[in-house]
A and B are shown apart, each in its own frame.
Chain A
Amino acid sequence: MKSAVAQLVECFDRGLGDPHDPLQIFSFARCQELDEREEFPTEICQRLDGLGLARRYVPAALGGELHSYEELAALVRLVARRDLTVAVAHVGTFLGAASVWLAGRPEQAAQLAREVEAGSVVSLALSEREHGSDLLANRVRTSGGEDWYRIAGEKWLIGNASRGQLVCVLARTEPVGGPRGFSLLLVDKRRLAPGSYRCLPAVRTVGIRGADISGIEFREAEVPADALVGAAGTGLETVLKCLQLTRTLCGALSLGTADHALRLAVRNSATGANPALAGAYADLLVAEAVTLVAARAVHALPGELSVASAAVKAFVPTLVEELIADLARELGPALLLAEPTEADSFQKLERDHHIMSIFDGNTAVNLNALVNQFDALARGYRRARVDQAGLAAATTLSDPLPAADTSRLALFSRHGSSLVQSLPAALAELTDPHFAPLAAALAEQAEQLHTEMAELRPSAREVPAMAYELARRYTVLFAAAGCVQLWLHNRTADDSPFWQHGDWLRAALIRLLGQLGAGSGELPADLVAELTERLRHQHKAGRLFSLLDCQLEESA
């Protein structure tokens, strides 16, 4: 089965050329060299601009080519599977601009759209040296006059803070702070008075070494009042909604890294069925399924994105981190001890990927976001509340998506998660005998988890440690629900046994039950053989490792 976005992806990858060919700009060899020199991938980013990636960050309504988050996620994955450093460096502009798409004035958004299309780099500056996840504690502040703001203070560990032309800054506009005390300002560095700001030196990082991770210090930097993004005092709300979009896309960044890891593992392993490879492949397919459904949910279930985005950001990077560690452990030295003759190395992607559970809301913060919604999630589950139309749209790949309506994003999902709340009914449809024990085990897990979630009464201040474990299990359940619905809604569109018999779903559920502690997670021999074979076949044929068919521009 081809997904609707396959054509776009194939065309884009053709434009990038074979990554194994060292003469291509975006080759593995080039990325390796840049990493060793800790050099920014300028030429590669230009190439991506040339192929129109930046235009894909600009909503269609503003004249750009962001038609769907499914497309954007697919492109981000495609870049990340070549190199995560490049992906993080380039996609940063979407992160910086998204708040303006959500809340900016129409002229402001239109102007930023033109900037982004022309290749300007935009960054998002939330973090401060002494304040990480606790945005309410941020100190960067403004003083204001009739038609200007002056910004003072330092933002630190900011992607593209030095290279970027524009930076979207979260600042305290009310001295006392508080949920309504912060605003977003879109600062054009080119228009600041000289000396009123300073870019901080690049920070040396473990991975993504070539990326520009630095900071910016404002010294009473004056910006016009119309730099404000949305109304004064709405900064936090806008940022939290913006992060719902970017956290969903983080699934694609991690997924691309999983592609990369698995490709190196296949190249460095002996032929024949291989449980380690099969397990990693099954995990990758799970990560793909949940990322795909969440990206479509931006359009189809926007009011529930506070759940989906947190689940994806907590689940996918953690899963991929384990996938990388498993491959390193099982395949050992062959992967981590790269010789300089190899153009591409596992140790680099391993270092690079650690960032995924740290930035854009670390894993604990995302689990916490789920804990904060346990009430609604438990209630929605008991009442089996499901937005059927939204669910079908999110999971039926052949259905065109409605345009994304970001005004429907909400900080809390009032009705919980249609995906998870439809799981009991969906499992009841898995009547085939080879599914029955898995479906029963999963149904039991879902019941038990929701009972425990309902019993938990955390105060906002004192979230017990076990609440995070419940939230972790919830993310696993969310992924399982994504897989089950994806299969149910698309199985007839593909006549391979992989889809028809639901072999991939069986593998996915076995792996996920393992993560819930309700099974060993080990795949039976028939699935090991089938998955390894399909994996090797996709590799040999230069296809994306995927549930779907997607031809890449890649020699084996």
Chain B
Amino acid sequence: MTATLSRTADRLGDPADAANPLGFAALVAADERGELPAVQLGFTPELVRALGGRDLGLVLGRALAPALSGLPRPAGYAFLREEPLRARPVDGALLLDGQVHATGPGALLLTVELAGTARYLLLPAELRPPAGPFYRTPGLRGCRPHRLAFTGHRVPADALLPGPADPARAARLLAGATLGALDTQLRTTLRFAEQRELYGRPVTALPSARAALAEAFTDLLIADCCLARGTAATVEQLVPVLVREAGHRLALLLGARSYLREGEHAIFQKHQRDLTTLAALRGPLHQPGARLAEQAAQACRLVQQQSADPFRSAPHWLAAALHRLAGLGDPTARAPHPHDLPPNDSPAARAERDQLLLDELRRRQRPATSPS
């Protein structure tokens, strides 16, 4: 699996290469201009996560629609605005009613409700209604999110794609893309913390910094397990919270660099703004409760039991994940299932776990010369 992942990532080129249009420098520059990077790629589902690590705008504005629908060409994606978008058949055509938040300038993949089923519809660029106001969003500037209102808007019936829409799959792909972004944020922050010296030592020598990195990594691991083995609810409601909180913790660690739109860490803030904007486009979210935390814990246990990978099959990260989830669910009941938690949650045990997580992070940080 690692081998496939690194091969898909290879297609995107070296992120540190200033000449790579999908490198961080070019992506940040494109964002500053309010443009999407111009790249020719086949947008497969496998690529979405790696692409999220580069530019969520590209995911929404170009890649998500083909990855979801199997269409050969890039298209933008639209989020529902409270009510579903309704389609009515009228003499060989369809009439659309409702409003969406749209991304990207060209063709647009819409999820419409037709006779009680959710379907995909590809709206060609030339059939778009006039774009409503463009939002003043903090991020996703390249795909220029805007409102699109349909009132009895006529489209040919063949714009409808065969088969039902799959919102759960869309949520999964999108969640994967946000994990790609978080992964980049984590790598960026780790690099900073290893290189920056404070009090005569690298920042990673500070136990609190190590804990912050380990916590963010734990959130990423939990989110990964939710995607691999979790319920749809964990993917849709818990993963965004984990991504947000991990990003927040990493921003604090990155300090002033998390606030700069230039320099070698600038990709961090771009992802941060993009993630905030994406969360707004998706609509209100509620703080996850104990039930979701338990579902995520179950997903983590399954991954740990069934993995052949030496890190994933080891108990340390699972202990970290279970403690984290216990704190997430209900703050008044810090430990839901005592028998699930390792008995020892002393500061020393936590420090040891932090160290092991950090070791793994560092191992992953090294350029993968050979697939492991």
Binding site for B on A (CB under 8 A): 127, 130-134, 136-137, 157, 203-207, 321, 325, 328-333, 335-342, 345, 347-348, 350-351, 354-355, 357-359, 362-364, 461-468, 514, 517-521
Task: Assess whether A354 is in contact with B273, with CB atoms less than 8 Å apart.
Answer: no
Task: Assess whether B199 is in contact with A134, with CB atoms less than 8 Å apart.
Answer: yes
Are A362 and B331 CB-contacts (below 8 A) given A206-B269, A462-B207?
no
Residues of A within 8 A of B280 (CB): 328, 332-333, 335-337
Q: Give which listed residue, B135, B200, B208, B277, contacts A465 with CB less than 8 A.
A: B208
Inter-chain contact count A-B, CB under 8 Å?
142
B277 CB, min distance to chain A CBs, angstroms: 7
B99 CB, min distance to chain A CBs, angstroms: 11
Task: Assess whether B259 is in contact with A207, with CB atoms less than 8 Å apart.
Answer: yes
Task: Assess whether B273 is in contact with A206, with CB atoms less than 8 Å apart.
Answer: yes
In the complex, whether B153 has a CB less than 8 A from a CB of chain A is no
A279 CB, min distance to chain B CBs, angstroms: 11
Residues of B within 8 A of A342 (CB): 136
Residues of A within 8 A of B198 (CB): 131-134, 137
Task: Assess whether B347 is in contact with A466, with CB atoms less than 8 Å apart.
Answer: yes
Closest B residue to A341 using CB positions: B133
Closest A residue to B82 using CB positions: A333
Q: Give which listed residue, B207, B262, B330, B332, contacts A463 with CB less than 8 A.
A: B207
The B231-270 residues at the A interface (CB cut-off 8 A) are 244, 248, 251-252, 255-256, 258-262, 269
Q: Give which listed residue, B200, B256, B283, B287, contacts A332 with CB less than 8 A.
A: B283
Closest A residue to B346 using CB positions: A466
Residues of A within 8 A of B200 (CB): 137
A354 CB, min distance to chain B CBs, angstroms: 6
Q: Produce 1/0 per residue, B273-306, CB < 8 A to A.
A: 1001101110111110000000000000000000
Are A465 and B350 CB-contacts (below 8 A) given A206-B260, A337-B280, A358-B255?
yes
Task: Assess whether A464 is in contact with B351, with CB atoms less than 8 Å apart.
Answer: yes
13 A–B pairs (Cβ distance < 8 Å), ordered by A? A205-B259, A329-B285, A332-B280, A332-B283, A336-B137, A336-B277, A337-B137, A338-B136, A339-B136, A342-B136, A345-B136, A351-B273, A465-B347
A341 CA / B133 CA spacing, docked (Å): 9
Residues of B within 8 A of A206 (CB): 258-261, 269, 272-273
In the complex, whether B316 has a CB less than 8 A from a CB of chain A is no
Are A137 and B197 CB-contacts (below 8 A) given A157-B256, A337-B137, A465-B347?
yes
A158 CB, min distance to chain B CBs, angstroms: 11
Q: 18 additional contacts, CB 8 Å, given A335-B280, A362-B252, A465-B347?
A: A133-B198, A134-B199, A204-B262, A331-B284, A332-B280, A337-B101, A337-B135, A338-B135, A345-B136, A347-B137, A354-B251, A362-B255, A463-B206, A464-B347, A465-B354, A466-B350, A467-B208, A514-B331
In the complex, whether B152 has a CB less than 8 A from a CB of chain A is no
A517 CA / B328 CA spacing, docked (Å): 11
The 4 A-B residue pairs with the shortest CB-CB distance in the complex, in nearest-first order: A336-B280, A332-B284, A465-B211, A204-B261
A16 CA / B210 CA spacing, docked (Å): 47
In the complex, whether B134 has a CB less than 8 A from a CB of chain A is yes
A134 CA / B209 CA spacing, docked (Å): 15
B362 CB, min distance to chain A CBs, angstroms: 18
A182 CB, min distance to chain B CBs, angstroms: 16
Residues of B within 8 A of A207 (CB): 259
Q: Give which listed residue, A333, A351, A468, contacts B101 with CB less than 8 A.
A: A333
Task: Assess whether B281 is in contact with A337, with CB atoms less than 8 Å apart.
Answer: yes
Task: Assess whether A517 is in contact with B284, with CB atoms less than 8 Å apart.
Answer: no
Interface centre among A131, A465, A466 (most CB of B within 10 A): A465
Residues of A within 8 A of B255 (CB): 132-133, 358, 362
Residues of B within 8 A of A518 (CB): 332
A549 CB, min distance to chain B CBs, angstroms: 33
Interface centre among A203, A206, A332, A518 (most CB of B within 10 A): A206
A204 CA / B265 CA spacing, docked (Å): 13
Task: Assess whether A205 is in contact with B261, with CB atoms less than 8 Å apart.
Answer: yes
In the complex, whether B145 has a CB less than 8 A from a CB of chain A is yes
A235 CA / B244 CA spacing, docked (Å): 39
Closest A residue to B138 using CB positions: A347
B289 CB, min distance to chain A CBs, angstroms: 11
A325 CA / B210 CA spacing, docked (Å): 25
Task: Assess whether A351 is in contact with B332, with CB atoms less than 8 Å apart.
Answer: no
Residues of B within 8 A of A468 (CB): 208
In the complex, whether B81 has a CB less than 8 A from a CB of chain A is yes
A84 CA / B283 CA spacing, docked (Å): 27
B97 CB, min distance to chain A CBs, angstroms: 19
Q: Give which listed residue, B137, B196, B208, B286, contacts A364 with CB less than 8 A.
A: B208
In the complex, whether B73 has a CB less than 8 A from a CB of chain A is no
A131 CA / B256 CA spacing, docked (Å): 11
In the complex, whether B334 has a CB less than 8 A from a CB of chain A is yes
Task: Assess whether A519 is in contact with B332, with CB atoms less than 8 Å apart.
Answer: yes
Task: Assess whether A205 is in contact with B260, with CB atoms less than 8 Å apart.
Answer: yes
A328 CA / B347 CA spacing, docked (Å): 34
Task: Assess whether A517 is in contact with B332, with CB atoms less than 8 Å apart.
Answer: yes
Task: Assess whether B260 is in contact with A465, with CB atoms less than 8 Å apart.
Answer: no
A519 CA / B145 CA spacing, docked (Å): 39
Residues of B within 8 A of A520 (CB): 330-332
Closest A residue to B198 using CB positions: A134
A463 CA / B210 CA spacing, docked (Å): 12
Residues of B within 8 A of A157 (CB): 256
Residues of B within 8 A of A339 (CB): 133, 135-136, 147
Task: Assess whether A203 is in contact with B260, with CB atoms less than 8 Å apart.
Answer: yes
A463 CA / B81 CA spacing, docked (Å): 48
B291 CB, min distance to chain A CBs, angstroms: 15
Task: Assess whether B262 is in contact with A340, with CB atoms less than 8 Å apart.
Answer: no
A449 CB, min distance to chain B CBs, angstroms: 15
B254 CB, min distance to chain A CBs, angstroms: 9
Residues of B within 8 A of A354 (CB): 251, 258-259
Closest A residue to B79 using CB positions: A333
Residues of A within 8 A of B256 (CB): 127, 132, 157, 358-359
Residues of A within 8 A of B261 (CB): 204-206
A339 CA / B206 CA spacing, docked (Å): 44
A336 CB, min distance to chain B CBs, angstroms: 4
Task: Assess whether A347 is in contact with B260, with CB atoms less than 8 Å apart.
Answer: no
A328 CA / B280 CA spacing, docked (Å): 8
Q: Give which listed residue, A130, A204, A329, A331, contacts B260 with CB less than 8 A.
A: A204
A364 CA / B32 CA spacing, docked (Å): 31
A231 CB, min distance to chain B CBs, angstroms: 26
Q: Produce 1/0 per residue, B183-225, CB < 8 A to A.
A: 0000000000000111110000011101100000000000000
Residues of B within 8 A of A333 (CB): 81, 101, 280-281, 283-284
Task: Assess whether A203 is in contact with B331, with CB atoms less than 8 Å apart.
Answer: no
A92 CB, min distance to chain B CBs, angstroms: 16
B242 CB, min distance to chain A CBs, angstroms: 14
Closest B residue to A367 using CB positions: B208
Residues of B within 8 A of A321 (CB): 248
Task: Assess whether B258 is in contact with A358, with CB atoms less than 8 Å apart.
Answer: yes
Are A364 and B252 CB-contacts (below 8 A) given A336-B138, A350-B138?
yes
A206 CA / B145 CA spacing, docked (Å): 19
A338 CA / B331 CA spacing, docked (Å): 33
A355 CA / B351 CA spacing, docked (Å): 29
Residues of A within 8 A of B284 (CB): 329-333
A358 CA / B331 CA spacing, docked (Å): 27
Residues of A within 8 A of B133 (CB): 339-341
Residues of A within 8 A of B259 (CB): 205-207, 354-355, 358
Residues of B within 8 A of A136 (CB): 199
